[in-house]
Structure 1
Amino acid sequence: MADQYLSVKETSEILNCSEQYVRQLLRYGEISGERISSRWIVASESVQNYRIKGEDESLSVPDHGRRSFSKPDLKALSFFSGCMGLDLGLEKEGIQVLLACEIDTAARKTIEINRPDVALIGDIRDYSATEIREKAGLSSTDEIDVIVGGPPCQAFSSAGKRQGFNDERGNVFLTFIDLITELKPRFAVIENVRGLLSAPLKHRPHEMRGRNFPTLSQDEQRGGALLFITQRLREAGYSISFNLYNSANFGSPQQRERVILACSRDGKKLPYLTPTHSEKSLYDLPRWRTLREALEGLPKNGHHFVKFPEKRLKYYRLLKPGQYWRDLPKELHQEALGASYHAGGGKTGFYRRLAWDKPAPTLVTHPAMPATDLAHPEEDRPLSIEEYKRIQEFPDDWIITGTLLDQYRQVGNAVPCSLGRAIARMLLTHLKGEVPIIYSDFPYSRYHKTDDVSWSIDTFGYLEESSEKQLSLNLV
């Protein structure tokens, strides 16, 4: 079963549920799938794992308080922690995480086995600010230096329905903002997908737009979700700085783009992150780290990976490092892609072998889905979990728990450690009163007008800080 793909209908029959429920499982990441044009394909191994998993409560990790009595100089609380990629980056620069918040069973076990002294809590909505302080071993007067978190991004992802705050996960985002304003850390850092820059407060389906429908309301305009978030934080006294960052510019061997919001309680606007690398040695910075550098020294044996179906290996055997479906003989293009051949877009993820001398593309939660393949440059297989860990910069001895697909999901969703380190360095520079290094007009990502200043002007026609315009929040 491991090398097959299923339709939504076939999946519903295996799980004995409706096709609508299968699509819900796909949207929430409970099973792995890929949307190609208007249809879903499902990884059969993930369906099998979901069917037999049957959550064994005796093996789950209970919530618990911090198991260490020491209080470090710089204290952080982490929410939506996953397998702690961002947290490891903070730690490497001297900011210690006292508490992690995560609901995923496998990720909780990962946290527990690697950082058993860290307090661990589950659903953020089940805890008050006072209870969170208690779990972290902090008194009501102890200063919290940093709160970090990457709330679930599917509600804002352009790949989904973009329900925003009407989505259950979007509501968790608002709970996170409320906790920041109650706990009052010196700094707050929020990580999310690029889609947050354009997501509305309230989503109207595209088939209900146009000349036969009312014009979009203010809540339905692009950018409304981010505007609401920043206004709520500003009302609590925080300054706001944000940009879209390519992690390759900070030493990660991966081109992963994420929005980072940096907030400061002192009201002084925090600077953008300082790059350490550049694609073309701009400002004499070292060039981007490559896949070859990331995997250097990794043993060739003992890798764990999912498999490609034999019918797809036929095409992979014709491809060299850095090539993809367009590099196949032209007469094989339609045969290789099947119905997807007529789908729109560049389809760059189909039959994609990674290049040795470039950073990896963004890691996904399953490396063998046809539209987002992540194949080894030379071997006829997807990237292994050991290679995933190297690309996301986890130590080789960092244990990722759960099934193989659980592990791919955790590492694929993680924040690269280098990006976490860059965030920590920016905060420490501000705390010390040092002047940050600023590279004028640096291309932080492949997109334009993604920083807080140009985004406000481009999206609303005015600087957000100086505007008295407000958006209402209408939750369904």
Structure 2
Amino acid sequence: MFDVQNKTEIKYSIAVLADILSQSKATIAARIKRGELTPCPDSGKIPLEQVSMNTEIQKMILTKWDEEHAVKPIRSYRLVELFAGGGGLAIGMEQAGLESVLLNEMDKHACNTLRHNRPDWNVIEGDISKVDFTQAKEVDILTGGFPCQAFSYAGKSLGFEDTRGTLFFEMARAIKETQPKVFMAENVKALFTHDEGRTLETIKNVIDELGYELVEPRVLKAIFYKVPQKRERLILVAIRKDLAQKVKFHWPSPYKRVMTLRDAFYAGELYPTDVQESPGQEYPLRKKEIMSEVPQGGYWRDLSDDLQREYMQGSYFLGGGKTGMARRLSLDEPSLTLTTSPAQKQTERCHPIETRPLQVREYARIQTFPDNWEFQGSKNAAYKQIGNAVPVNLARALGHSLVQLLNDIEERDEIKPETIDLK
């Protein structure tokens, strides 16, 4: 439980408060201008008491984070993971106490990373459609982040067979072959609205057809789970129907505060040491000269008009904010969502203080990978593995919720009818 006695010391920057409340910085600034919020004169931050009645703030104050992270499996639970990538989800599940018995991934560098760091893991490299999942016995839980592909709907019944040819079909097949008690799938937030909601509706139909009851899906914001990054993921949790009426899944509680890049890069609550120097991409000379003019937390519109025109070229005249272009991150905010490369022009991720793209270990810390987790392959292969990963701390928070669910199933199964007191 969060120590509410210290809450008078808590203050939020405009940027962090905007992230917590899912509002823009301009909205927070307008509230200040109207006198609804009054920043502290010394720091410019908003005291907790002015925003403490907001639901998101209340959840952080009254969090059960420590209690939930103390949950341990009452027996060894066997986990199968699909689309394992560089290991973000698998590490979080391991930290929560789950035992990986099979991991499937197609990318050879990611597989080498998994094997290098966990030689005892059963990593099956290759096309998921070629994997026989019946070899995995007595599976308790199956997890994975399937790539979202379009389904064809014309004249279809929107069931299991209709998803053939997609990677979701292969995940559904794995579920059918292993019959786990629970499964969890994660995907991009956009899956909620993909193809006007029809894609998600098809997935829900298939989950029902497989014999599972879907918990109402949620989009989780990584900043609430001790991750210094504004990443959002859609989470699907489903319980086998013969067990679903006995138990209830509880979503993880948020952490007591929001982590920023300062937490990621310097010794403190998130990591015991400063981030180590590591390989990283570099800017061409002229781009570096232009990027050096962008202030911390700024982007292309903070450049002079001449530099804006030079950098943006034809995009200068197009509509839209293009807020990812020439973007320098801020030490006192969470990072923007990482991509598979920190120097893509549309999604620039420039270091807050130095004029260079983020390095590999900085990338890894923003995704909350342990410092001793070593990525295999080229520098660009490492960026790709990290950028595509589920943040480890988010995965761990979900893992503890899943362990609690499996514990509840286990304990309910142990209750024999003759032992139930009917009085």
Shared fold (TM-score greater than 0.5)?
yes
Q: 1:126 and 1:425, CA in 2 relative to 1: closer, same or farther beyond 3 A?
A: same
Q: 1:232 and 1:300, CA in 2 relative to 1: closer, same or farther beyond 3 A?
A: closer
Gaps of 5+ in 1: 1-71, 157-164, 201-221, 278-285, 435-476
Alignment of 1:195-234 (within 5 A): 195-200=190-195, 222-234=196-208
Distance 1:323 1:173 in 2: 39
Q: 1:106 and 1:271, CA in 2 relative to 1: closer, same or farther beyond 3 A?
A: same
Deviations 1:65-111 (A, max 9, x none): xxxxxxx7111011100011011111111112111100101111111
Question: What is aligned with 1:463?
Answer: none
Question: What is aligned with 1:457?
Answer: none
Alignment of 1:136-285 (within 5 A): 138=137, 143-153=138-148, 171-200=166-195, 222-241=196-215, 242-265=217-240, 266-268=243-245, 270-271=248-249, 273-277=251-255
1:113 aligned onto 2:105: no
Question: What is aligned with 2:413?
Answer: none
Deviations 1:314-354 (A, max 9, x none): 22111221111111123432222111212332111111111
1:325 aligned onto 2:328: no
**Corresponding letter in the other structure for 2:127:** D
Distance 1:186 1:166 in 2: 22
Between the two proteins, the alignment pairs up a number of residues equal to 317
1:293 aligned onto 2:270: no
**Corresponding letter in the other structure for 2:300:** W
Provide the TM-score with structure 2 as the length reference.
Answer: 0.70
Q: 1:267 Cα shift?
A: 2.4
Distance 2:351 2:402 in 1: 37
Alignment of 1:13-28 (within 5 A): none
Q: 1:154 Cα shift?
A: 6.2
Q: 1:329 and 1:115, CA in 2 relative to 1: closer, same or farther beyond 3 A?
A: same
Conserved 8 A contact 2:98-2:403: no
Deviations 1:377-429 (A, max 9, x none): 01010000010111111111111011111010000000001111121121223
Conserved 8 A contact 1:317-1:380: yes
Distance 1:313 1:350 in 2: 14
Is the partner of 1:258 in helix, strand or coil?
strand
Question: What is aligned with 1:351?
Answer: 326
Question: What is aligned with 1:100?
Answer: 103
Provide the TM-score with structure 1 as the length reference.
Answer: 0.63
Deviations 1:172-217 (A, max 9, x none): 21111122122110110001112211223xxxxxxxxxxxxxxxxx
**Corresponding letter in the other structure for 2:85:** G
Distance 2:150 2:363 in 1: 25
Distance 2:112 2:121 in 1: 12
Deviations 1:42-80 (A, max 9, x none): xxxxxxxxxxxxxxxxxxxxxxxxxxxxxx711101110
The structure in which a higher percent of residues are helix is: 2
Question: What is aligned with 1:431?
Answer: 406
Question: What is aligned with 2:129?
Answer: 125
Q: 1:116 and 1:167, CA in 2 relative to 1: closer, same or farther beyond 3 A?
A: farther
Is the partner of 2:374 in helix, strand or coil?
coil
Is the partner of 2:229 in helix, strand or coil?
coil
Q: 1:119 Cα shift?
A: 1.1
Is the partner of 2:319 in helix, strand or coil?
coil
Q: 1:270 and 1:402, CA in 2 relative to 1: closer, same or farther beyond 3 A?
A: farther
RMSD: 2.4
Distance 1:330 1:166 in 2: 55
Is the partner of 1:418 in helix, strand or coil?
helix
Deviations 1:338-378 (A, max 9, x none): 11212332111111111101111111001101110000001
Q: 1:169 Cα shift?
A: 10
Q: 1:332 and 1:246, CA in 2 relative to 1: closer, same or farther beyond 3 A?
A: same
**Corresponding letter in the other structure for 2:133:** A
Is the partner of 2:336 in helix, strand or coil?
coil
Question: What is aligned with 2:29?
Answer: none
1:76 aligned onto 2:54: no
Q: Which moved more, 1:364-373 or 1:236-245?
A: 236-245
Which residue, 295, 314, 319 being the options, matches 1:339? 314
1:412 aligned onto 2:387: yes
Alignment of 1:420-459 (within 5 A): 420-433=395-408
Distance 1:393 1:371 in 2: 24
Question: What is aligned with 1:403?
Answer: 378
Q: 1:324 and 1:169, CA in 2 relative to 1: closer, same or farther beyond 3 A?
A: farther
Distance 1:170 1:314 in 2: 47
Percent identical pairs in the alignment equals 37
Is the partner of 1:223 in helix, strand or coil?
helix
Is the partner of 2:349 in helix, strand or coil?
coil
* Greater length-normalized contact order (CA 8 Å, ≥ 6 residues apart): 2
Conserved 8 A contact 1:238-1:263: yes
**Corresponding letter in the other structure for 1:324:** Y
